[in-house]
Structure 1
Amino acid sequence: MTSPSGNANHAWTPASRPGIIPLHPLSFGTILGKSFVALRHNPRVLLGFALCVQVAAYLIVSVAIGGIAIASFSRLDTMPMGDDYWAVFWGSTAITAAAGVVLGLAAGALSVVVQAVVVAEVAYAAVAEKRTLRALWAQIKPVFWRLIGYAALVSGAFLIVFVALAAGITALGFVLLPLSIALGVVLILAAIPLWLWLSTKLVLVPAVIILEDMTVRGAIARSWRLIRGRFWSALGIIVVVSLTFAVLAQVVTAPFSIIQVAISTILSPTGETDVTAIIAIIVSTVLAQALSVLVQSVALVVQSTAACLIYLDVRMRHEGLDLDLLAYTERRDNGERELADPFRQNVGRVLPRATPATAYGTPVLPPPYIPPAAPTATGSAWTPPGAVSSSVTPPVENGPPHA
């Protein structure tokens, strides 16, 4: 007995499971919207891991800076006031500030590990796969030190440029203070667009390292090439996400600042030390920092998700990654095993440029107007009605023959 379709050899197979994004080039709104909702796909791995790393980095940096500050400033307890006292004071301040900058950059380098986990998870969530943290770490482990090296390279370059400019402006300030202030303002204003431009051009580097197993140098060059044609869209997404969480952080922490002022005013109106006021201020400060870390963790996940979606979008547009992902999901859902990684296939493929077709709904234009052809000349002039044309030979009358 044959099937209604007339072919008994083809068994029915269910449709492929949809991922977190449609498998075709993405619009600006799709990337921006999916960056915020992708967290729901695997919150335990994404948000849980990000929180653990952020809390650990925050505690390590805080304890380290506190220890360095105590060790540096404790010498002032046994020193009398004088030139040596202020020399030690400013030296301790410089040491603590330098340690804070270095440790802050080191903590920022750890955030690339969170970004790696998010990129790996979101990339495979696009083909409806949810992976465990163990599986994600197995994929990230071979490129871990490359990611750390890239983060250290960016942080080191930023630190060198910052120190060089700060030293130059400070040295100029001893000679021409107004000029140094004006130069500092100009450099700060110029650094903002430069930083946004570089951040956008390099936004795909972690995704390229993780998903394509490239070197740091190759990933930088490939990110530079892939982002062409989508630069302004990527820049807009980065700016919108960053501003959103900057405003959210202020909204979350502002009430605790107001609470601290209110507590100190109500419980200690005369400025005297009160144990209850101190405890209340400490508790509110801890809560504010906890919420700040939570917001930073969510922001890191969303920013990393946006970077991964931008990567998927540009590869779909330039290299036809959507075709590879569709073929991968079809073979997987048909029961095939040992499938090749779709993100490492056809890397750098150049698609032929298609001829643009007429979109559905485009009004059909009328054919172009063709004027009628001129009448063909017959060689005869116009003759009024009733007149005999000169071109017509009159008939010959039949008469008797001439004699």
Structure 2
Amino acid sequence: MRISNNKILLSLLIMTLIVTGIWLLTRPAKTKPTHAPTVPVRVIQVVQRDVPRYVSAIGAVLSLHSVMIRPQIDGILTQLLVKEGQSVKAGDLLATLDDRSIQASLDQANAQLGQNQAQLQVAQIDLKRYQLLSVDNGISKQTLDQQQALVNQLKATARGNQAAIAAAKVQLSYTHIHSPVTGRVGIRAVDPGNFLRVSDAQGLFSVTQIDPIAVEFSLPQQQLPTLHDLLEAKTPALVKAFIGDSEHSITPLGEGRLSLIDNQVSATTGTIKVKAQFDNPQHTLWPGQLVNVELQTGVEQNALVVPPSVVQRGLDNYFVYRVKGDGVESVPVRMVYQDTDLNIISGVNGGDTLVSDGQSRLKPGSRIEVLHEPAQTPDASVQP
């Protein structure tokens, strides 16, 4: 009986050892707590400063005055006193025409006036004599009236002669062609010795004003209220002209001021024409040239500035990732102004550190590793 009990106890012990071994082999291994992997990012600090706001367009350079020099009378071109490409001032003598025929007509008119004045002088003396004789009825009233009519006739003839002289002087002045504007002489179309006619379609050459000069461009009609405010401001709005893209043009060709808004919106394009005037002493702007134009529409005071890569677009709003400790948080922001170089936002504070690269792997609460680069700030120079 004692042997049977020992066997039972031995069997229970063996079964206990087997179960314990199985449990030890199959129990879950203890795992050490692990942290989520860090995300490498680049960061930037929010800068607070004044930012000019601009609208861009493509414009054409126009001369404020461009005159085609044409003859006002028929005649032979005797002299050209300027060269192609020469700068001239208003009033400078440009060319002369043969004036001999007109000078002869003027001399003839002067002679006729002298003859008429002599006749008028005699007639006036006779009139005075007749007036004295008429007091004592020495002559008839009819003779006095006839003499008075003769004096009036000679006076009218004298006025006609004077008008003929004035007309001849005007014709004579046309033989000397003066520049009506200050500008630059264009390519010459005729040479001295040619017979010029008023009806000729082709003139001698053009004189085009270069300084000051204008740039004409078009803007969307939505900008019309802003344009009215800019035009009525005490200081005209600043306009800059560039060749090519202004992002790659450090120095503008010129800086001008808004001067004119057209009197109607184009029904075809929905745009309004705008003109700006530029001082152009170095002749960097040239008539007919195509330029990129930027019009300053205002200045955003104490703006919060970040690069465009910082702001992310959500389903319903814009947001940014702000660094908080060793992680990030999502902060909704409002887009105040944007262009190719910068964004102006609200909803953050100046000096906040925001993620500028690596957002695709982030979510609120993600741990980050800032790449070993100094914290960047937006370029202080704003695209003009």
TM-score by length of 2: 0.22
- Structure showing greater radius of gyration is 2
TM-score (norm 1): 0.21
Higher RCO (CA 8 Å, separation ≥ 6 residues): 2
Structure number having the greater helix percentage: 1
